[in-house]
């Protein structure tokens, strides 16, 4: 019997719970979430409703349950020190300690780490602690364009990109000064142009094992329009690549992650145990790093975990014991398309407490619950991304068709992006990369 403590209540954690539940070991899941996720609840022996950063509540629950190990889904509890607290009471996690979780929670730490250890992938960047040299650096970036990053976890809201959120240098400097005032540090960097992709890797501190590559869609509406969201959907091809990427691109990204894992240990004396999720961008001059996350991506987890052939409990235990090199981690060669169904008005003004009904979902689709409440008479929207529909098939065309049918089946005040995973959107990505690489 393996008792596992799972922290987080989104669709990503529903996918984690399902992967744990598929284990050949007998598994009991003990869940902690800010609200009840009906999918996780159905798979768990006990469910504590508590803030996922409430160290005291989680400690008490963990002392009572005495799990064999823990998995922490979201970034906030990692930054808040939940993994550290668990280790203090001798519970190991397949998630990183705070010190190495800085890979996600501090953008300056990660940029400086790559620079110090001479790892490829940084754009032109500078970390500022005061305004000295700020104007000059913005002048240097004129022409290339700039990005200003508040240094901390801001739920994706701290990054402002010229052309999207900031007009000109004057705007950029103003926002950089705001960030300095706010937390005493700001990262200013060159704006990169290309196609973004996500490469998640299991890491035991010394060994890294890569998952299928996927691409998220941050904008709320079709054609990559509208406000930024937590991610409206993702796709990944049957060869675990993306149609606009070469094998070399993925090898380059994988090498960055391997080197960063090594550098992290040298720098901190602490092994990174968990998932290193690199947000990369392939540009005219090769693969660059946008950012690292210290956890599974959401929705990216839904492209990888359902394809896992290897026992996920074994993988978590190997991450913890440092034995990842001893197991073969395999994924089915299937294409996946994930489409999130979200409330009308999401992300700025979402409707809440409205009922939704999931209609007929075709075979080959996995349904993962996120921000929905299970009432006596059905599911109710809670305001954030509601349900993830994942089509799994031999090729992208079929996977897209399945995810689309499932997303459309949901009745209620909701929307999704019909274009995610379609040929026409993917063709645009391919053409963009052809023109960048050729030009
Ligand atoms: P991050 O929180 O660092 O992932 O940034 C959020 C989003 O901002 C990314 O997904 C990119 O779309 C964009 N972004 C961040 N850094 C850069 C950069 N140097 N060049 C272009 N876009 C960027
Ligand atoms: N896919 C975006 C994230 O997980 O942060």
Please, what are the domains in the chain?
2-95 (3.40.50.20), 130-184 (no CATH), 194-426 (3.30.470.20)
Q: What is the DSSP string of 296-331?
A: --TTTHHHHGGGB-S-HHHHHHHHHHT-GGGS---B
Q: Find the mean pLDDT for residues 242-250.
A: 96
Q: Rounded distance, CA 205 to CA 198, Å?
A: 20
Tens digits of per-residue pLDDT, 166-216?
989 999 999 999 999 988 999 999 999 999 999 999 999 999 999 999 999
231 lines ligand 2 (CB under 6 A): yes
Tens digits of per-residue pLDDT, 78-93?
999 999 999 999 999 9
Q: Give the pTM.
A: 0.97
Q: Find the mean pLDDT for residues 95-104.
A: 97
Angle at Cα 195 formed by Cα 190 and Cα 197, nearest 5°?
105
278 lines ligand 2 (CB under 6 A): no
75 lines ligand 2 (CB under 6 A): no
Work out the mean pLDDT of the chain and round it to a whole number: 96
192 lines ligand 1 (CB under 6 A): yes
68 lines ligand 2 (CB under 6 A): no
Exposed, middle or buried, 197 (CB in 10 Å: 0-12/13-18/19+)? buried
Q: Rounded distance, CA 231 to CA 238, Å?
A: 21
Residue 158, pLDDT score: 85
Residue 110, pLDDT score: 97
Tens digits of per-residue pLDDT, 308-361?
999 999 999 999 999 999 999 999 999 999 999 999 999 999 999 999 999 999
Q: Is the pLDDT of residue 152 over 90?
A: no
161 lines ligand 1 (CB under 6 A): yes
The atom of ligand 2 lying closest to the CA of 293 is 5
Which two tokens mark 421?
């995973």
| Long-range contacts formed by 125-130: CB under 8 A, 24+ apart | 125/187, 125/188, 125/189, 125/190, 126/187, 126/188, 126/189, 127/151, 127/185, 127/186, 127/187, 128/176, 128/180, 128/185, 128/186, 128/187, 128/188, 129/180, 129/184, 129/185, 130/180
Indicate the pairing of strand 27-33 with strand 44-49.
Answer: parallel
pLDDT band at residue 155 using 50, 70 and 90 as cut-offs: low
The atom of ligand 1 lying closest to the CA of 107 is 3
CB atoms within 10 A of CB 130: 11
The atom of ligand 2 lying closest to the CA of 156 is 5
Tens digits of per-residue pLDDT, 249-277?
999 999 999 999 999 999 999 999 999 99
Residue 272, pLDDT score: 98
The atom of ligand 1 lying closest to the CA of 149 is 3
Q: Is the pLDDT of residue 439 over 70?
A: no
Q: Rounded distance, CA 83 to CA 69, Å?
A: 10
108 lines ligand 2 (CB under 6 A): no
Q: Is the pLDDT of residue 159 over 80?
A: yes
Q: Whose CA is nearest to atom 3 of ligand 2?
A: 297
Residue 265, pLDDT score: 98
397 lines ligand 1 (CB under 6 A): no
Strand, helix or coil at 238? coil
Q: Whose CA is nearest to atom 1 of ligand 1?
A: 291
317 lines ligand 2 (CB under 6 A): no
Residue 438, pLDDT score: 87
The H or E element that residue 147 is part of is strand 146-150
Residue 235, pLDDT score: 98
Q: Whose CA is nearest to atom 4 of ligand 2?
A: 297
Q: Rounded distance, CA 301 to CA 197, Å?
A: 13
Whether the Cβ atoms of residue 387 and residue 369 lie closer than 8 Å to each other: yes
Of 78, 157, 231, 294, which is best to mutate to test ligand 2, by the most ligand atoms within 8 angstroms of its C-beta?
A: 231
Whether the Cβ atoms of residue 282 and residue 320 lie closer than 8 Å to each other: no
Q: Is the pLDDT of residue 389 over 70?
A: yes
242 lines ligand 1 (CB under 6 A): no
- Please tell me the distance between residue 133's alpha carbon and the centre of ligand 2 in angstroms: 32
Q: Compute φ and ψ for 334, nearest 5 degrees.
A: -125, 155
Q: Rounded distance, CA 384 to CA 17, Å?
A: 20
216 lines ligand 2 (CB under 6 A): yes
Among candidate residues 109, 429, 31, the one with its CA nearest the CA of residue 237 = 429
Of 75, 198, 290, 370, which is best to mutate to test ligand 2, by the most ligand atoms within 8 angstroms of its C-beta?
A: 198
Buried b (16+ CB within 10 A) or exposed e, 199-219: bbbbbbbebbbbbbbbbbbeb
Q: Whose CA is nearest to atom 4 of ligand 1?
A: 291
Q: In Å, how far are 56, 96, 97, 320 from 81, measured between CA atoms?
A: 11, 10, 7, 17
191 lines ligand 1 (CB under 6 A): yes
Q: In Å, how far are 21, 46, 67, 185, 418 from 5, measured between CA atoms?
A: 12, 10, 6, 35, 36
Residue 156, pLDDT score: 62
Q: Rounded distance, CA 183 to CA 79, Å?
A: 16
């Amino acid at each position: 019997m393996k008792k596992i403590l799972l922290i987080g209540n989104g669709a990503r954690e529903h996918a984690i719970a399902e992967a744990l539940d598929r284990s050949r070991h007998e598994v009991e899941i003990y869940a902690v979430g800010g609200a009840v996720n009906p999918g996780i609840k159905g798979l768990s022996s006990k469910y504590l409703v508590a803030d996922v950063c409430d160290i005291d509540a989680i400690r008490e629950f963990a002392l009572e349950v005495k799990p064999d190990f823990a998995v922490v889904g979201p970034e906030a509890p990692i930054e808040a020190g939940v993994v550290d607290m668990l280790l203090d009471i001798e519970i190991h996690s397949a998630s990183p300690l705070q010190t190495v979780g800085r890979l996600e929670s501090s953008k300056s730490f990660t940029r400086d780490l790559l620079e110090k250890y001479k790892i490829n992938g940084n754009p032109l960047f500078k970390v500022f602690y005061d305004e000295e040299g700020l104007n000059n650096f913005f002048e240097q970036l004129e022409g290339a364009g700039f990005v200003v990053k508040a240094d901390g976890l801001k739920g994706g809201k701290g990054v402002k990109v010229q052309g999207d959120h900031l007009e000109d240098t004057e705007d950029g400097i103003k926002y950089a000064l705001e960030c300095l005032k706010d937390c005493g540090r700001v990262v200013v960097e060159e704006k990169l142009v290309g196609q973004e992709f996500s490469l998640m890797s299991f890491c035991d501190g010394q060994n890294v094992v890569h998952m299928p590559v996927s691409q998220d869609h941050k904008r709320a509406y079709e054609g990559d329009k509208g406000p930024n969201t937590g991610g409206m959907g993702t796709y990944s091809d049957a060869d675990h690549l993306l149609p606009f990427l070469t094998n070399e691109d993925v090898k380059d990204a994988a090498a960055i992650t391997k080197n960063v894992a090594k550098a992290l240990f040298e720098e901190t004396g602490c092994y990174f145990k968990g998932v290193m999720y690199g947000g990369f961008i392939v540009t005219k001059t090769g693969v660059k790093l946008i950012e690292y996350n210290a956890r599974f991506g959401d929705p990216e987890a839904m492209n990888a975990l359902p394809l896992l052939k290897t026992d996920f409990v074994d993988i978590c235990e190997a991450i913890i014991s440092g034995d990842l090199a001893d197991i073969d981690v395999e994924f089915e060669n299937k294409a996946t398309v994930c489409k999130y169904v979200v409330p009308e008005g999401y992300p700025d003004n979402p409707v809440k407490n409205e009922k939704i009904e999931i209609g007929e979902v075709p075979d080959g689709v996995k349904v993962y619950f996120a921000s929905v409440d299970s009432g006596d008479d059905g599911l109710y929207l809670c305001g954030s991304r509601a349900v993830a529909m994942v089509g799994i098939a031999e090729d992208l065309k079929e996977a897209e068709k399945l995810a689309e049918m499932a997303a459309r089946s949901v009745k209620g005040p909701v929307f999704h992006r019909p274009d995610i995973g379609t040929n026409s959107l993917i063709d645009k990505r391919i053409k963009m990369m052809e023109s960048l690489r050729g030009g």
